[in-house]
Amino acid sequence: MTLEDEENTWLLALEAALHDGCDVDSLLNITRGRTLPEECRQQVWYQCLGGGSKISNFSEFDEVFDLPEQSVIRADCQAIVANLGNAEEDKVSIVCDVESVVSHYCKSRHLQYASQRQWADLLTPLLAAKLSPDRLYVCFEEILEKYIPRESSPGSPIYHFLRLLLLYHDPQLSNHLDSLKITPDQYAAPWVRSLFGSVCSLDTVMSLWDAYFQERDPFFVAFLSLVILVNARDRVLSERSSAAVIETIIALPAPLSAADAPDFCTLARYYAMRTPNTFRKEYQNSIFGSVYLSGGDGGDGGHVTGALPLAQALCLPVAPEELLASTSSAMYPPESSQVGFFVIDCRPADQFSNGHLPNAFHLDSSLMLEAVSSFNTALQGLFIAHRQAVEADTPGTGAHLCLVGGGTEEEDPLLHMVAAAMLQQHTAFVSLAKGGYRGIHRALEPDVETELAEHNRNNCHVCVGAAKRPPSPAPSQSSSCADKPDASQADSTLFNKFSSFSSVFKIKSADLKDKLVDYITNPAGDDSGRPVVARHASPDDTGDLYRGAGDIFTIGEDDAAAKTRGTVERVLLSDLLKKPSTITSFACHQVRENGYMIPSHLVLTQHGVLLVRCIEGKSKYGDIVASRSLSSIMKITSKKKHPDLITFKYGTTRADGEAVITDMDRFLIPNASRATHAVKELILQQSDDAAASEANK
């Protein structure tokens, strides 16, 4: 099926679904984040914003316009309608409808209207979508109470969260803004109050909201803001004037066009997938929701590690359940997530030796005060172990660092200092385990003996503390653990602080130690990854802010493009990978043209590349949905700031040597350089074999 056929197919399916009145989930399965046709937009928006299941009270409006600020409301409504260019005979009735919507919402929520709320920027796209007054009210109410932060004045929770998000993904940029005393409310307030409606053109906002409402994620505005900041990091880092930086950032969204919106949202999804999900539960109620909701953080209280209020949090929290799910040594991170954790246990040595996660690395935080040089050396050695574990795709580890303490602020006086030390070195993906070891211990009950390494009930400080508590009607599960022999005491040498990595690391411990010695004696060693660039067909090939990509390498001498689509073959993945013709495979997500990500595998064979799509609920099977010959690959490109987003471009070579691109695939591949390097080697090998065959003729 060609791209044009696929485009026509989904449009016909959408029109039929809207005609039949299908539910929102069925609609989203058709639209999949695509930009919507104008004639269908208002119906899809209405469904995505709860119109199909929400009862509107707009009919109860008393049509009495008597609010103290009524004249301001009317003037703002007149300005909105004037900017839309409606016919003169329609303007009066439209102004009346908009004023009714705003007035009724203020009365029903007991709110005082203010132009600074930027409701006009929210109403303008809704009016442009030609919603009826009743539907206009439903959509306006849902946007305000689901997608717009309840508080957006300086110091509000949404800005603290945005800072934590930037600190997690780009600590250098975050630290630079902090050094200039620039807070997110100084540049992001118009973005979060209007969902970019006040800073982008109307066409751009309409396309952006198409994807936004289909996403159904209130935090999506924070990830869109993150994309803007990261893409401008070089310009921001080069500035030393606070005023200049703020002016630069504020102006960044304005040039975006409607064509940029899909890629803009794709990059936001990329960051969302690479962020631990605990924040959604922790911060949802403190940031979003009706004005009737309380502003509590919904956590366990400030005394629990990783549960500080947003304004005081040093970095993002990770719940024990999320940490355990993604660090199990028996599996890789779930297909729906790009987050895998490298666990760093910062408790004292005696606590660590009496129970810890099997894949945890130990870093004694007390070294920060007792032996600073030893702590710095241990920290650098740990970074080496982390990098090697990630490069080796070691099960139970990932690129994201999660620090584990005892579990309460009183037990972890130095834990935040360790996190701060990492962030000062611009270490990305640093988080704190909420509840620390206590939370992990609680989440694993009653299986702590089998799930924790070296667990000793007699000396484990959680078990001992539970045993000392007065008996309760429900006895503690941890007190029922069977006794185990005491763990042997570790030596006091530096290397023994890394001796209890986990069962999955022990086999490599000697090699890690040798490399750690080499690092300590040769700290200036090469830390660069393997180069992906092989050759450039066009060094001047550049792209725009979101849609373009720098050329990685190009093969332009090959034969005609070859691919097969339309025929789907279901295979047992283990059988496919065992075939003699299969060389290797890479877990990935296929990124469709609408930005949606589908769990998949790229399988490299001697003949080409297979795209195998994962089947929900059947992890052992996959559908081969595309087969690409090596000769059809014209270019492989990546975005400079998002190297894991890879685009394969396919086509043919004309007689004059010019490559004609006819199709493309985009993938999100962890450690993508390994995949592109493998494909490049296959292409070059095929080229060499063809040249040798020609020479022998």
Instruction: Give tens-digit pLDDT for 211-235.
Output: 999 999 999 999 999 999 999 999 9
Tell me, what DSSP letter sits at residue 450? H
How many Cβ atoms are within 10 Å of 31's Cβ, its own excluded? 25
SS3 letters for 121-172? HHHHHHHHCCCCHHHHHHHHHHHHHHHCCCCCCCCCHHHHHHHHHHHHHCHH
The pLDDT, as a whole number, for residue 298 is 43
Least confident range from 166-175, 177-186, 503-512, 680-689: namely 503-512
Q: What is the pLDDT of residue 466?
A: 74
- The Cα–Cα gap between 258 and 219 comes to 21
Give backbone dihedrals phi and psi of 329, rounded to 5 degrees, phi first: -70, -10
Question: How confident is the model at residue 51, as a pLDDT?
Answer: 85
pLDDT confidence of residue 516:
38
Predicted local confidence at residue 3, as pLDDT: 53
Q: Check whether 539 has a pLDDT greater than 80.
A: no
Q: Helices (H), strands (E): how many in the chain?
A: 28, 15
- Per-residue pLDDT, averaged over 581-599, amounts to 82
* Residue 6: per-residue pLDDT: 62
Q: What is the dihedral of CA 375, 381, 386, 388, to 10 degrees?
A: 180
Q: Which of 62-66, 181-185, 288-292 is the most confident on average?
A: 181-185
pLDDT of residue 427: 95
Q: What is the mean pLDDT of residues 453-465?
A: 90
Please give the share of the chain, as a percent, with pLDDT higher than 70.
Answer: 79
What is the mean predicted confidence (pLDDT) over 300-312? 65
pLDDT of residue 397: 84
For residue range 427-449, what is the model confidence (pLDDT) as tens digits?
999 999 999 999 999 999 988 99
Q: Which of 506, 412, 396 is nearest to 461 (CA)?
A: 412
What pLDDT was estimated at residue 651? 86
| 320-329, 466-475, 485-494, 592-601: segment of lowest average pLDDT | 485-494
Question: Distance from CA of residue 135 to its chain's centroid?
Answer: 32
- The pLDDT confidence band at residue 306, using thresholds 50, 70 and 90, is low
Q: Which of 88-102, 550-564, 629-643 reaches the highest mean pLDDT?
A: 88-102
Confidence (pLDDT) at 30 = 92
pLDDT at 563 > cutoff 90: no
**CA angle in degrees (0–180, nearest 5) for 417-422-427:** 155
Gap between the Cα atoms of 79 and 235, Å rounded? 36
pLDDT of residue 662: 82
**Which has the minimum average pLDDT: 128-132, 331-335, 342-346?**
331-335
Predicted local distance difference test score (pLDDT) of residue 476: 41
Spell out a b/e string for 559-598, using b for 16 or more CB atoms within 10 Å of the CB, else e. Answer: eebbbeeeeeeebebeebeeeeeeeebbbbbbbbbbbbbb
Q: Is it the case that residue 540 has pLDDT exceeding 80?
A: no
Cα three-residue angle 225-307-276, rounded to 5 degrees = 45
Q: What is the pLDDT of residue 550?
A: 35
> Who has greater pLDDT, 660 or 281?
281
- 592/268 Cα distance (integer angstroms): 14
Q: So what's the pLDDT on residue 409?
A: 77
pLDDT of residue 467: 67
| pLDDT exceeds 50 at position 456 | yes
Which amino acid, 332?
Y
pLDDT in tens, 616-659: 778 889 999 989 888 888 888 887 777 888 889 888 887 777 77
Residue 160 has pLDDT above 60, yes or no: yes
- Give me the pLDDT at residue 673, please: 85
The single-letter code of the amino acid at 40 is C
- The pLDDT mean for the chain works out to 81
3-state secondary structure of 297: coil
pLDDT of residue 2: 54
Q: How confident is the model at residue 296 (pLDDT cuts 50, 70, 90)?
A: very low
- What the block records as the tokens of 629 is 């010959």
Query: Sorting pLDDT into bands at 50, 70 and 90, what band is 518?
Result: very low
- Max avg pLDDT among 16-30, 187-201, 284-298, 545-559: 187-201
* Whole-number pLDDT of residue 549: 34
Phi, psi values for residue 281, rounded to 5°: -75, -40
Residue 481 has pLDDT above 60, yes or no: no
For residue 347, give both structure tokens: 């408790």
Q: pTM of the predicted model, to two decimals?
A: 0.74
Pick left, alpha or beta for residue 650 (phi over 0 → left; psi -120 to 50 → alpha; otherwise beta): beta
Residue 370 contacts residue 352 (beta carbons within 8 Å): no
Per-residue confidence (pLDDT) for residue 477, from 0 to 100: 40
Q: Which helix (H) or strand (E) holds 639?
A: strand 633-639
Rounded to a whole number of angstroms, the CA Rg of the chain reads 28
Q: At 374, list the tokens.
A: 């030893």
Mean pLDDT of 339-346: 92
Residue of 367 and 182 predicted with greater confidence:
182
Output the CA–CA distances (angstroms, integers) from residue 522 to 371, 382, 391, 466, in the order listed.
21, 16, 21, 47
Q: Give the pLDDT score at 642.
A: 76
Question: Tell me: the pLDDT tens digits for 240-261?
Answer: 999 999 999 999 999 999 999 9
